[in-house]
Every structure is written in C-alpha cells, then in structure tokens.
Structure 1
C-alpha cells in the first residue's frame, strides 16, 4: 500500500509558469486593489470590473503551462498516494497529471450562482453580467474572496491528518486558514517546506525541514528524499 503524501501549494509554484500573483506586500493584484476584485464588497460595488478582472486571468491561464514542480508532483503518484491541496485557482496541477487536487480558494475555470454557492459549473470563457444559472440568477467567478468562508477547509484538514508525509511548496504560510493546515498533521509526520524566501515557522509539534529553493528546484530535492522513504 502506498504511503500518503499531502502537499499544500501556493502562489510560488504558479509564478514559475508565469502567472502573476497577489502579494501582501503592496496589496495589489495585476494593478488592482485586492479588495476591489476579490471581496464581496468589490463585487457589490462594481461587478463588471470584477468579471473583467477574472476574464483576463482566465485568458492568461490559456497562455501558460505547468512547470517542473507541477510535473514532479504528478510523477510522484507512481510511488505515493498523492493529494494536492492548493491555494491556487489555476488548473496547472490537473494539466500536469495530478489526479487528486483540492482547491481551497476556488477555481478560475468554474462559475457559481450568486444565490447558491453549491451550484457550480464549468466555465472556460468570458463571464458577463447577464450570464445566468438555470434558475435565472447571475453567475459569478467560483473564487473564495476575502471575508468568505472556505468550504473545502474541513476536507483539507481531514486529508492532512491522514498524511504520512506533508509538504508545503511555494507559499508564505501567512494566508489563513490554509497556513494553519500544517498544525493538523499527526505527531511524528515528516514536514517539508519549499520556498525561495521561507517564512520563519515556530510552535510546530513536528520537526520541519526547510528547503530554501524555487518550487521546481526544491521539488527535485524533495523527490529524492521521499523516494528513499517510499
């Protein structure tokens, strides 16, 4: 039986594919104040701006490809039962071949009803005011905005608790509740943290091995380590 490898990924892994990411340092995402395009208040104030913003992100996604880190994670399914928990809204993990991907913050290629957050549909093209669900309600991007709950969090906690190995790749571990997942790994679970500029993490019950590399470089190192333990 394969051992279970759980990997939490963040913006750093997508950035290597050319996807521009939101960074807390300036509060801007592609030149926009983050609260204008990623909050219920921003949607209520100017839904056309929000829709246009995500339409451009969707178009950008068509122009990029999975990178080495995505591919290594997919390849590790040959040796481990791999679960990806990602903060990213792109589909690069899936395109690389990963079969078990949980999106904490939603998915760019899906839309949902403004009246029912469980009514989710695939949506690969531009989304406009007037695009409605089958009950006549406006569709919005299937993105978890600031101030909204994270419906997938309970499942992410369950997956993390069952991990034999837990790795964090390309995230500052500053965005909650995702950053708190590492605390749900069972005592004794080996933890690995790959980030070019890793945050200082304290108060962990398990020992954390830090690999201060890019996602692609770090995943090459981690793959070698994990294959010795498979």
Structure 2
C-alpha cells in the first residue's frame, strides 16, 4: 500500500533528523530520496509550490533538476491533465481543513514524451509551523498498474461519462431535481432520467447522495 510506503519513508527521514518539527534538511533529504523507486514530490504548502522531486519523478517529467527553484503553482497546472484540475482543488481543501492524515488521489500526468499516464498517489503533511499549520508535505505516486485498489478510482470512473452525462452529474451534485435539470439543459425529463441511469451505472452509485459525496471527494463541490 502506498500509504505504508510513504509512512515508512517519513519515519526514516525523522529518525535520521532530516525532517524536524518545522523544517527539513534539504541537502540530506535530496541525498536520501533521490534513489527511492516511487515518484516523490516535496511541497511548500504556504506558497503552494513544489520544492523538490526525486530522480524517479524527474525522469518521468523529463526535468533537468531535482530542486525546482522558481516554480510556483503553475507547475501543477502544467503537469496535470485539465480534466483532473479538481484534484488540485481537493489538495487545497485537504491542507486548509487539515483534518485527515493522508490525501489519496488519482492523477493524470504528462510524461516526458508528452503522453498522459494515470498514477495513484498519497500525500502527507510532514512539517508544521509553531501554531500547527502545515508547512511541508510529501506526495508519493506510483503507476496505476502497480497499485491495485479494491475499487476503480472515482476519477477514472468519471472519465467514462459523456459530455452530457458530465453536465448532468454536476447538476445532480448541486441537488438539482430532474425537472430542473431538464429545463436548464433544454431536454425532456425522460432523457434526463435515462442519462441518470447511465451515470449511476458508470459511477457505481445507487443513489443521489452517493453522487453528491463523490462530487465532494473529487473537489467538484464544496
């Protein structure tokens, strides 16, 4: 499990005094994490930017450096597929609310050859300020084929929806009723019902509350 892999890494970094309560020894962090086989990114939470990537991550993106000086949030926008932007919003919510220990997400990222790959990742806050606010976090990612979740990741299920089904999914997540959706999209209620049946099937949901919950989890609804 990727959570366990990240947890073991963080424990090792703490035991070797590389990660302290409110700071990280970047030089030794770089030395220890470069050879980790999984893709690692060290984040500056306050400024929402990446600080460091290990060699596996550098090779995947085709970047030249491990330290990403001068990078800001544009890094995240450039490397992730537009359909997965809600994962960025979900990340912001995760750090702002600061209630969960791990953030598990599915990513569609552009590799060095310009192709899009699906990766499964988890993120954990590793340093905090004196008043307890998140300072730094580490993300660990592995290719989808190396991770075998019990269920298909919600974001992958969402990719099976047609454009019209996606429109209806978003309206359902806003608690819109069938007649309201029909009026807004200028289609019949019967057509909306048929689309809803397909949406439930594709997203493996049985009721509206499950769709709304999925929308929250994916960052489409707050």
What TM-score, normalized to structure 1?
A: 0.25
Greater per-residue helix proportion: 2
Q: Which structure has the greater CA radius of gyration?
A: 2
